[in-house]
Structure 1
Amino acid sequence: MPLESKLEKLILDEPEILETKLLLLGSQVPTKYGKFIDVLGVDAEGVLHILELKRDRTPRDVVAQTLDYASWVQELGNDDVREIFERTNSGMVFDEAFADRFEGAPVPDDLNSAHVMTIVASDLDAGTERIVSYLNRFYNVPINVMKFGYFNDDGHEYLARTWLVDEATAAPAATSGRNKSTKAAWNGTDWYVAFGDDHSRSWEDARSYGFVSAGGGDWYSKTLKSLPQGARISVHVPKRGYVGVGIVLGAAVPADEARLTINGEERAFRSLDLTRSYRHAQSDSENVAEYVVPVRWLSTVSLDEAFWRQGMFANQNSACKLRNQFTIEEISKAFSIPDAD
């Protein structure tokens, strides 16, 4: 079997033959130097993978070419990665394709924070083996060779694969250049808030009285305390979806001290007719208070009407900057909210 000529098609048709699960950005991806990368992919962590077929090139040529491609890839920013995918996959949305490939995982804020190089070969000459092993083991260059072997048994075809340098000892992915941001741009306005509707808090309370809250430990409350006044928040209830968009009116305050303005009247949070306790088990080792942030709602829905679309951003932090433009755009449409500048 002329395996070398078929490996690229095999990878494109069945990327699972690679040990690392990838979303393929494209094949024959042009660089600014007039060359073409055989296959370029991204993994679930946002690391880019340069896949180059050895074909019949000399060890010097294939290794030099792969390193040259990496010198271009390391300059790619977050927007560049998205543009490459959408240019080579017409009509597809990167965020949706990423979530579909990685079991619903949202796109990480950092795309191309690092990269690795893999030479794909049907056989391996001594020269390529020496060069790649030397770069990987002695200079921590993240380059390796995946060798494929072909076997035929009574009409059944099989592929076997092996790494030149064992992955357990291989050099880690190289950090990409910083002349372009690998982190998604932030518009300076939008924040994400996770609201746990559970035994201690209720979304209907928050929706009715104008607040969000989190607590039960510093890990939960510290990010909520970072919300600035004037921030626009999109509220997500885990396993349900997005339920509201609002403007932060003040700083996070312990529930026992919090006061909210209800129909023009300032009232203590604990005096409200709440359906949950907003309290947590006591502990001497950490601050377990529930913290409350006052919010002016722009638009809300009930839990049963929660909005979700595959590829949207979700996070375990109680609050963080919302950089995912796909999520912002979908929320803006669903809740009839004008886009932030």
Structure 2
Amino acid sequence: MPRTSSTRPPGSAATLQQVATAAGVSLATASRVLHGSGGRRVAEELAERVTAAAAELRYVAHAPAQSLARSRSTVVGVLVHDIADPYFAAIAAGAMQVAREHDLMVLVANTFRDPALERDYLARLRAQRARAVLLAGSAFAGEPFAEELAGFAAAGGRVAAIGARGEGIDTVEPDHAGGGRLVAEHLTALGHREIGVVTGPAGLATVAQRLSGFTEVVASPHVVGADFTREGGRAAAHELLRAYPRITALFALNDLMAAGVLAALREAGRSVPGEVSVVGFDDLPVATDLTPGLTTVRLDLAGIGAQAMRLMLDDEPGGRTCPAPAELVIRASTGPVRS
């Protein structure tokens, strides 16, 4: 039964939020039932609760406002953690190519891995009536985002994400865990047992997934956290070499950090791969230019961005998930353990 509210002043018009609260559903669900927004079908039982609550509260939709909410602008947003990171630059480029094919303008916003800033940008895009938004950065652990996303959808916008960000959101899911597992299998097959891992910032789902895949095979690696930068990888590698001098392999969770790891090994006088093997993740163009060439996990980053943009620009119901496979590319930076 609807849970109607008695707090509305006599004579005042009921709001959509009051209907949603009375029916015990989200704002986005109420909007889909009463306004036909969002594109997803609503379960019959939920729809009945919403319509009953709307009738009891005498809710009347404001026609001009609903027409405005459903209108499609030519602006789409792409929210990235760091546009200077080639990982995000490649994803954004793929997304922008598809947007260009649809004659859309793309606004790229840098969140600096700040969840509060990401929410703020989403609210601004909603206020600008952006047609859609792509969340290209990793989800943040313990940072619920559902209310903001529901509000964007209720206003007529579409959302897609790289990596899971909640129910009803179109998702392109890179196989981060599978990539980590491929690295572990490769290194153990070469005889490596003393392995260090340079992880990224704590709290990011991507970091947790890549590390979890690796630890499915290597149960107890030596782990040090760092920024997703060359200098972060360099500092973390020096820390690992000091603490565990018998390490024979280092796995960096992105290629920028792997470049720093290679620099640290040169500074420490350790040959690669003769004394220490090195593996990265993402297969950025720089991976082939490093010396030696970097063994790494390849993701089709431009293709991932393009696929995510296509998902949020079509008229199909949201909530789809498209996998993006990972592939290990073996180059000269890995070799067997020296006897």
What's the TM-score, normalizing by structure 2? Answer: 0.25
Larger strand fraction of residues: 1
What's the TM-score, normalizing by structure 1? Answer: 0.25
Larger helix fraction of residues: 2
Query: Which one has the largest radius of gyration?
Result: 1
